[in-house]
Structure 1
Amino acid sequence: MSDILKSKKGSIKQAPLPEESPSWDEFGEMLWEEIEAGAEANQPGFKVVRKLLSDKRFDK
């Protein structure tokens, strides 16, 4: 996941995350598969992060 974040604009980390969700640093240590699984399980913040990372507007 850290490789994905490197290809994104730094401003992506300014996006607010829901309460009780992992921090951006914690998301950075996860695998993409973990993000997908968390989003499918409806865990706080995972859908937001998946959507932001998939959005081409944040590409460098």
Structure 2
Amino acid sequence: MREESKEDGRREYTKADVNELRAHSKAKTRVAKIAKLTKRSEGSLRQKAFKLGIGLGHQR
């Protein structure tokens, strides 16, 4: 696992982050609201959801 870098602004998804994303997917929370709560971009959330095979937003 790489150390968090302040240069590129990226943050790794932890197991807790993934579990939270799955819960929001199940609850059908809007992507914009999830983005504000997690302090991540909508694009980042959509990419992660796609990789996990879960639906977010209009992709359901």
When Rg is computed on C-alpha atoms for both structures, the one with the higher figure is 2
Give TM class, smaller chain.
0.3 to 0.5
TM-score by length of 1: 0.33
The answer to which structure, 1 or 2, has the higher relative contact order (CA under 8 A, 6+ apart) is 1
